[in-house]
């Protein structure tokens, strides 16, 4: 079973391609998280966990869901991490998670997709995004071939800088950057409520017609990139930036 988490669609695209190639089921972990449900799943095919990279690790909301979930059937776990540049060195944490769950760790695949972290960086425009996605497809195809053939993903070679990013810098990242205080709406907001629906953590509530952000944000970018009126800003950092959403996988 392919279980994915996605803020702006890259990981959903990757998961859909893998599910298509492997003829496997696909499950959106975001809906479980939103409904505050535990993952209680059974699959005879290997588990394939697909997610964006947040500070060179799995998003904590996703690793928590896996840690607290019940996974019956297959004992094989593959990880696919989409990223804007690189996934660092998350192997130690992923192996530890597999050990807790009784999974055999079958490796992690780094898939470079368009950057979506627009409260810190810039997302690419449409043409550039399409080029990056086209380059990611053969990486995903090869991943599907390995999973389908029962082979592990190849071991990655990582250095000290990668370990630092996935270790200490990841620890520092959450208290420093993962906040929702700076989110606000502009006069273009029409109170449609889509942002409230999109937030996997139920961190947005409409007061009358005005969306208000609470403190449970994981900075997934679903709200700011998903608002049809581009009416959400993050302080001044997001002003004038491209809002990124991945195209749907069409085969
Ligand atoms: C909070 C946050 C942290 C991120 N950290 C990294 C990172 O450490 N390395 C990286 O290459 N990309 C990073 N990115 C970019 C995303 O991992 C990348 O764009 C991913 O494909 C988005 O997937 P999604 O569309 O499924 O949400 C980060 C994005 C966000 C929102
Ligand atoms: S999605 Fe955009 S327009 Fe709709 S309520 Fe949220 S901020 Fe306003
Ligand atoms: S508030 Fe926005 S960025 Fe934060 S978790 Fe919800 S949708 Fe994602």
- 50 DSSP β-pair partners: 4, 80
Output the residue whose Cα is nearest ligand 3's atom 5.
217
Prediction pTM value: 0.98
Give the closest ligand to the alpha carbon of residue 190.
Answer: 2
What 3-state DSSP class applies to 95?
Answer: helix
Q: Which residue has the tokens 């540049």?
A: 85
Mean pLDDT of 115-143: 98
Give the closest ligand to the alpha carbon of residue 118.
Answer: 1
Radius of gyration of the chain (CA): 18
Average pLDDT of the chain to the nearest whole number: 97
pLDDT digits (tens, 9 = 90+) for 57-74: 999 999 999 999 999 999
* Alpha-carbon span 142 to 148, nearest angstrom: 10
8 Å CB contact between 106 and 77: yes
Output the residue whose Cα is nearest ligand 2's atom 2.
227
Tell me, what's the pLDDT at 159?
A: 97
Q: Which residue has the tokens 């608002």?
A: 227
CB 117 near ligand 1, within 6 Å: yes
Ligand 2 atom nearest 226 alpha carbon: 1
CB 17 near ligand 3, within 6 Å: no
Output the residue whose Cα is nearest ligand 3's atom 8.
220
Q: Which residue has the tokens 């800088």?
A: 161
pLDDT-derived band at 117 (thresholds 50, 70, 90) equals very high
CB 90 near ligand 1, within 6 Å: no
How much distance in Å is there from the Cα of 148 to the middle of ligand 3?
Answer: 34
How much distance in Å is there from the Cα of 174 to the middle of ligand 2?
Answer: 26
Percent of the chain with pLDDT over 70: 100
CB 198 near ligand 3, within 6 Å: yes
Tell me, what's the pLDDT at 132?
A: 98
Tell me, what's the pLDDT at 183?
A: 98
Q: Residue-wise over 16-52: b if at least 16 C-beta within 10 A, else e?
A: bbbbeebebebbbbbebbeeeeebebebebbbbbbbb
Q: In what order do the strands lie in the sheet with 76-83?
A: 26-28, 2-4, 47-52, 76-83, 104-112
Percent of the chain with pLDDT over 90: 99
pLDDT digits (tens, 9 = 90+) for 137-153: 999 999 999 999 999 99
Mean pLDDT of 112-128: 97
pLDDT-derived band at 20 (thresholds 50, 70, 90) equals very high
Tell me, what's the pLDDT at 162?
A: 98
- 105 DSSP β-pair partners: 77
How much distance in Å is there from the Cα of 14 to the middle of ligand 1?
Answer: 14
Q: Which residue has the tokens 């200490």?
A: 168
pLDDT digits (tens, 9 = 90+) for 148-194: 999 999 999 999 999 999 999 999 999 988 989 999 999 999 999 99
CB 218 near ligand 1, within 6 Å: no
Domains of the chain: 2-159 (3.40.50.360)
Tokens of 114: 């368009």
pLDDT digits (tens, 9 = 90+) for 72-94: 999 999 999 999 999 999 999 99
């Amino acid at each position: 079973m392919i279980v994915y988490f996605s803020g702006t669609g890259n990981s959903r695209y990757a998961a859909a391609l893998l599910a298509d190639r492997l003829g496997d089921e696909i499950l959106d972990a975001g809906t479980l998280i939103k409904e505050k449900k535990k993952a209680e799943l059974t699959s005879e095919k290997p588990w394939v966990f697909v997610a964006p990279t947040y500070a060179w690790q799995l998003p904590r909301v996703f690793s928590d869901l896996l840690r607290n979930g019940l996974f019956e059937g297959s004992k094989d776990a593959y990880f696919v991490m989409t990223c804007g540049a690189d996934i660092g060195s998350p192997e130690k944490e992923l192996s530890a998670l597999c050990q807790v769950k009784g999974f055999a760790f079958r490796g992690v695949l780094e898939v470079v997709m368009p950057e979506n972290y627009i409260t810190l960086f810039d997302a690419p425009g449409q043409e550039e995004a399409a080029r990056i996605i086209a380059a990611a497809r053969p990486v995903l195809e090869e991943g599907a071939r390995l999973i389908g053939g029962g082979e592990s993903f190849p071991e990655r070679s990582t250095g000290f800088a990668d370990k630092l990013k996935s270790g200490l810098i990841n620890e520092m990242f959450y208290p420093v950057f993962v906040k929702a205080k700076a989110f606000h709406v502009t006069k273009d907001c029409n109170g449609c409520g889509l942002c409230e629906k999109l937030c996997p953590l139920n961190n947005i509530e409409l007061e009358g017609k005005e969306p208000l952000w609470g403190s449970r944000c994981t900075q997934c970018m679903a709200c700011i990139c998903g608002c049809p009126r581009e009416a959400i800003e993050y302080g001044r950092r997001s002003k004038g930036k491209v809002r990124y959403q991945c195209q749907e996988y069409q085969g």
